Amino acid sequence: MVLAELGGRITRAIQQMNNVTIIDEKALNDCLNEITRALLQSDVSFPLVKEMQTNIKKIVNLDDLAAGHNKRLIIEQAIFNELCRMLDPGKPAFAPKKAKPSVVMFVGLQGAGKTTTCTKYAYYHQKKGYKTALVCADTFRAGAFDQLKQNATKAKIPFYGSYTESDPVKIAAEGVDRFKKEKCDLIIVDTSGRHKQEASLFEEMRQVAEATEPDLVIFVMDSSIGQAAFDQAQAFKQTVSVGAVIITKMDGHAKGGGALSAVAATKSPVIFIGTGEHMDEFELFDVKPFVSRLLG
């Protein structure tokens, strides 16, 4: 189910309550059950959906609401707040500052959009006046360095990598070191991914993190991975201290659920979404406008 469709179904479930004379327990349950179905079909993990339902029922106590209260509005507000709460882990992500070198490491499965997103993130900050640089510590995927080099050159961003060195930890450490000496504000490290969540990938990520001491680790997730989102995000979080999430390919048949599950699994906020293959198809993520837009 695409994101707009999810929003439409939630909105329709709320509107259904206009068609009943009294909003009683049954009307509320019908509405919540429809929202539950819509969320599950959008790949939000089951425990999260269950928790949301319980919370809304706790907030909307129909017996305590005196006659004359606009119950539909109260329920609608509770649903809005719950969706916002699910997307907001309560603490903002680390934000790089100018004139102080920050290291940001990108992790995620192969094909998630890491390399593309690294450049988008660098380009976004470069436009804001940051002195950015890119380090390619992906020695696993043939062509990864060329891809980063090509993107970086197009955006006029300094880069570091090697065609011959096979140790990603060494490249990452050297690159970060060089750009710190060059007084860059924001040093972005692209790491390797694998098709699956293999032990070797996690060990490599752990070592790169140890060598570069990132101020922020960003987990990049493809929005179309479905119900696997929660477990995948959690596996990354357990290995490196993920502090933010970027969801890619929101322009395609994107499901909203992946974002909700990734936030829950990593206890980190979504900071940007990728909306296309191009450098500037990248949007800042803000919870309330996102949920408002979702609910139309």
Residue numbers of the site for ligand GDP (CB under 6 A)? Answer: 108, 110-116, 193, 248-249, 251-252, 274-277
Least Å from the CB of residue 80 to ligand GDP = 26
224 versus 234: smaller Cβ distance to ligand GDP: 224
Least Å from the CB of residue 42 to ligand GDP = 18
d(CA 184, CA 150): 20
10 versus 136: smaller Cβ distance to ligand GDP: 136
108 versus 243: smaller Cβ distance to ligand GDP: 108
* CB 220 within 8 Å of CB 112: yes
177 versus 281: smaller Cβ distance to ligand GDP: 281
Least Å from the CB of residue 120 to ligand GDP = 8
Least Å from the CB of residue 116 to ligand GDP = 3
230 versus 282: smaller Cβ distance to ligand GDP: 282
Least Å from the CB of residue 190 to ligand GDP = 7
* Range list of H helices, the chain: 3-15, 25-41, 46-59, 71-87, 114-127, 144-154, 168-181, 199-212, 229-239, 257-266, 287-294
Query: What CA–CA distances, in Å, run from 62 to 16, 75, 117?
Result: 17, 10, 46
d(CA 94, CA 36): 33
Q: For residue 141, what are its two tokens?
A: 């995927």
* CB 221 within 8 Å of CB 123: no
* CB 135 within 8 Å of CB 161: yes
* CB 242 within 8 Å of CB 257: no
* Residue keyed to tokens 């809005």: 80
Least Å from the CB of residue 142 to ligand GDP = 12
Give the neighbor-by-neighbor strand order of the sheet with 216-222: 159-160, 132-137, 186-191, 102-107, 216-222, 242-248, 270-274, 282-284
99 versus 142: smaller Cβ distance to ligand GDP: 142
35 versus 121: smaller Cβ distance to ligand GDP: 121
Task: Give the contacts of 89 (CB within 8 A, at least 6 positions apart).
Answer: 263, 266, 267, 268, 269
* CB 240 within 8 Å of CB 215: no
Which residue's Cβ has the minimum distance to ligand GDP?
Answer: 274
Least Å from the CB of residue 144 to ligand GDP = 7
17 versus 135: smaller Cβ distance to ligand GDP: 135
* CB 114 within 8 Å of CB 220: yes
Least Å from the CB of residue 114 to ligand GDP = 3
